[in-house]
Amino acid sequence: MDEQRHRRRLVLFSCPLQGHINPMLQLATILHSHSKGALSITIVHTHFNSPNPSNYPNFTFLPISDGLSQSQKKSYTEDVIAFMTLLNVNCVNPFRDCLVSKILSQKHEPQVGCIIYDSTMHFTQPVAESLQLPCIGFRTSSPMSFVAFAAFPVLHEKGYIPIRESELEALVPELPPLKVKDLPVVKTHNSEVFYQWVADMIKQTKASSGLIVNSFDSLDQSAFQLLSQEFAVPIFPIGPFHKFSPASSSSLLTQDQSCISWLNAQAPSSVIYISFGSSASISEAQLVEIAMGLANSEQSFLWVIRPGLVVSSCRSDNDKDKNEDDKFTEFLPQKFNEMMMSGRGCIVKWAPQEEVLAHPSVGGFWTHSGWNSTLESICEGVPMLCWPCSGDQKVNARCVSHVWRVGFQLENGLERGEIERSLRRLMIQENNKEREELMVRVKDLKEMAELCRRAGGSSFKSIEGLTEYIFSCNVPKIA
């Protein structure tokens, strides 16, 4: 009985996309192990993209209905805002029902301490409030991108958004060093829906009991200052999550380990690793530009071409499905295929990314600048070539190239000549002062990331603070 009083149940709810599920489960693992099991973990999740419970035997998993049709389930690569907006409506009742009938009613379980929710799933906060449950927001992306979202009313007022083509290169003095083209605007069928989603996310974060961020003090000091000016709630910078919790077991796709044997046979720092995360897509024409740029650069590569990455412009739906698997190979140019045949290239559908980035043969990462990928690269001391596709990725890429200066951007789209030059600029080791400087800075960041998670380090202390805070949350007694 006494033991139960000293335990708390923590309920977590994620956005059901890979880049959100990974950090949420890492966060749950951190809090469970840091509290030595005193925080019992319940993951509420949608049926769509449900995580594999057998990888987390200590956690309770409770599925809820997401109300998504088959075509809506696939729609997130085309319009992530429409997808998230739909979830924020569809999940309200199932989430509340789950809390009431499957969690709060369980008298033999520890009392609920609080709800931790992905800030993109802002509906969670009012539902929790209606049940008098404290709710802490959780940001899967960089603090700077959240600062930029919070600044949307000012950006509207000053005319930076909606973005005008003629202004793309202009600096935004309110958010240095961002340019107008870096603002985290996401393409969607109706921009009003996007602005409303941002406004709701910011409003509910302000109404919540705290904000957890996957970054660390010394990396994002000024962004954290701006965040605390904007949000009058306790902020917990406790990243990099993936370094506190064991290697990812939350992958929705099977990670192809064969690329590790391939990497074992390559020279140190000789391979460029290429991955554009779990949601970005490219056209067949862009696929050819990348393949030609790679072949002409003559740099060895490990390339993740996940199902759905290459989107066909002119095929029927049936053919599109075929294209999602191996059909893209028919577009690859001869010169590229020759490079593959000679063993200088490896293509997989999904890689064990953390392991790949830690491999001594990997010398650079061509990334879409998703926040998880950016942190994973920094933590392994790997410099980046950034090709941001959407939203927060543009902010992350600007920070990589202009704040931390551990990489640079492909500024003019996917064009074979620029790709070839950029790959050589990043990867060639002999007489390459720029690469040497990138390496010095990225190794410094790697060390900072290591220091922050040691006992007494900023993230370590912040995890302690968060755990105490959760235990101190005032939860009403259940009748």
- Can residue 353 be called a binding residue for ligand UDX (CB under 6 A)? yes
Question: Looking only at residues 107 through 136 of this chain, which bind ligand UDX when binding is defined by CB under 6 A?
Answer: none
Per rule CB under 6 A, is residue 376 in the interface with ligand UDX?
yes
DSSP-based three-state secondary structure for 134: coil
| Interface segment toward ligand UDX; rule CB under 6 A; list 91-99, 108-116, 146-154, 274-282 | 274-282
Give the integer Cα–Cα distance in Å for 275 and 251.
Answer: 15
Task: Please report whether residue 63 would count as binding ligand UDX according to CB under 6 A.
Answer: no
> Least distance (Å) from ligand UDX to the CB of residue 142?
7
- Shortest distance, position 242 Cβ to ligand UDX, whole Å: 7
Token pair recorded at residue 359:
């491999």
Closest residue to ligand UDX using C-beta atoms: 19
Q: What is the smallest separation between the CB atom of 358 and ligand UDX, expressed in angstroms?
A: 11
- Prior bond of 162 cis (ω within 30°): yes
| Minimum distance, C-beta of residue 320 to ligand UDX, in the bound complex (Å) | 21
Q: Which of 49, 372, 409, 458 binds ligand UDX (CB under 6 A)?
A: 372
Check the CA dihedral 15-20-21-23 and report its sign.
negative
Q: How far apart are CA 242 and CA 29, in angstroms?
A: 10
350, 365, 366, 404: which one contacts ligand UDX (CB under 6 A)?
350
Of residues 42, 88, 119, 140, which one binds ligand UDX by CB under 6 A? 140
* Three-state DSSP state, 137: strand
Cα→Cα distances 405→7, 141, 399, 442, Å:
44, 19, 7, 8
**Smallest Cα–Cα separation from 198: which of 185, 179, 207?**
185
Instruction: Considering the complex, state which of residue 204 and residue 353 has its C-beta at the smaller distance from ligand UDX.
Output: 353
Among positions 9, 11, 22, 103, the unique one binding ligand UDX when judged by CB under 6 A: 22
Interaction of residue 20 with ligand UDX, rule CB under 6 A: yes
Query: Under rule CB under 6 A, how many of the chain's residues touch ligand UDX?
Result: 26
Q: Which is nearer to ligand UDX, 112 or 357 (CB)?
A: 357
35 binds ligand UDX (CB under 6 A): no
Which structure tokens are listed for 242? 């993936």
Residue with smaller CB distance to ligand UDX, 80 or 133: 80
- Closest approach, Cβ 76 to ligand UDX, in A, equals 10
* Residue 240 beta carbon to ligand UDX: minimum distance, rounded to whole angstroms: 11
If binding is defined by CB under 6 A, does position 420 make contact with ligand UDX? no
Per DSSP, the residues of 304-319 read: E--TTSEE-SS--HHH
- Please identify, using beta-carbon distances, which residue of 25 and 112 lies nearer to ligand UDX: 25
Compute the distance between CA of residue 210 and CA of residue 137 in angstroms, rounded to an integer: 6
Nearer residue to ligand UDX within complex by CB, 88 or 373: 373
The verdict on 370 binding ligand UDX (CB under 6 A) reads yes
Angle at 388 between CA 387 and CA 389, to 5 degrees: 115
Tokens 């956690």 belong to residue: 59
**Per rule CB under 6 A, is residue 18 in the interface with ligand UDX?**
yes
Q: Does 307 bind ligand UDX (CB under 6 A)?
A: no
- In single-letter form, the type of residue at position 357 comes to L
Please classify residue 264 by burial: count the beta carbons closer than 10 Å to its beta carbon, then call 0-12 exposed, 13-18 middle and 19+ buried: exposed
Query: For residue 301, what are its two tokens?
Result: 């590569």
- List alpha helices for 208-283, DSSP H: 221-230, 241-244, 258-264
Judged by DSSP in three states, 458 sits in helix
Q: Does 279 bind ligand UDX (CB under 6 A)?
A: yes
**Region near ligand UDX per CB under 6 A, out of 91-99, 160-168, 369-377, 437-445:** 369-377
Q: 10 Å Cβ neighbour count for 336?
A: 21
> Are 208 and 135 within 8 A, CB to CB?
yes
What are the residues binding ligand UDX (CB under 6 A)? Answer: 17-20, 22, 140-141, 251, 255, 275, 277-280, 304, 350-351, 353-354, 370-373, 376, 392-393
